[in-house]
Structure 1
Amino acid sequence: MKTVVCNLLLIVTILQVLEAFREFHFSKEEKECIEQVDADADRIQDLYSRYTTPENDTQFNHFTECLWQKLEFLTENGDINYEKLKNSYRLDERLGEDNPKVLSNAKMLVFDAVTKCESNHNSLKADTPAKTAVKVQNCIADNFAEGTEVYY
């Protein structure tokens, strides 16, 4: 029995160590925006890694605005390009890694999540395009999470 418990603890420890060494990599566009808005990369990584991001963090808002403009999710006049989001929204690489059904349905789940946000676009409008982008990003994350509940 002691051997089984020790082996189990060893496996859990190994899994935790592997998770800790998972590297976060910024895309080319993300790196450009970090430099362009003179943001702290570690801070952006910390905030970016969260499921829901703060809507009142100026540095993160500017980073998100820059990135969404580069990806054409946000137009030059500050409007959200929902059609582009529905068809191009990039997913976090960890998304659904524990559930193949989520991964296989990710495109549909994102499309549905963005569509729900689009139907509430007036409530997501903020005083700056940067804040609006972050609010929409959070809306998509929340609706996506809600959509995946049936798979767990």
Structure 2
Amino acid sequence: MTMTRRRALSLGSAGLFATTVPLATWMHGARAEYMRTRYDAASPEGKEMLGIYASAVGQMKTREPSDPTSWQFQFFTHWMDEQKAAAIDRIYGPDVSPEKMAAEAMWNTCRGHITWASQADFFVPWHRMYVLYLEKIVRQVSGEDDFTLPYWNYTDPASLA
């Protein structure tokens, strides 16, 4: 089965694009229908967004690791406590599936964990794209189309706690 951009998007495959598709290509398809607002985490709106996020993460944690919208699947994108191939075999078995292909392409791809400089330099664009797709997953899980991850305003001394 061929992994298309549409199929990868439907799986919530941030890491797949981060490692295989040029920035200009995925940016074209990543445009929002309208502008969403990010809120300061200390604001009432930001606190509301954190509540939505906490609820969605709770739901994601109940899903099977093979589900691209599960918390475990998203965690494995960042880091693996076991060998990637062993984890994929344990979770998916021998059969080929779009979800297994997404896991093979994106698990353990976080650029912050790569030690060679030529790849570690891509952490910021990798992470921004990952957050974009994580927000999309949270919107789908929570049913809250206006959800955005809030930001922490580290320039405000009251926000440092």
TM norm structure 2: 0.26
More helix by share: 1
Report the TM-score, using the length of structure 1 for normalisation: 0.27
When Rg is computed on C-alpha atoms for both structures, the one with the higher figure is 1
Task: Flag the structure with more relative contact order, 1 or 2, with Cα contacts below 8 A and sequence separation at least 6.
Answer: 2
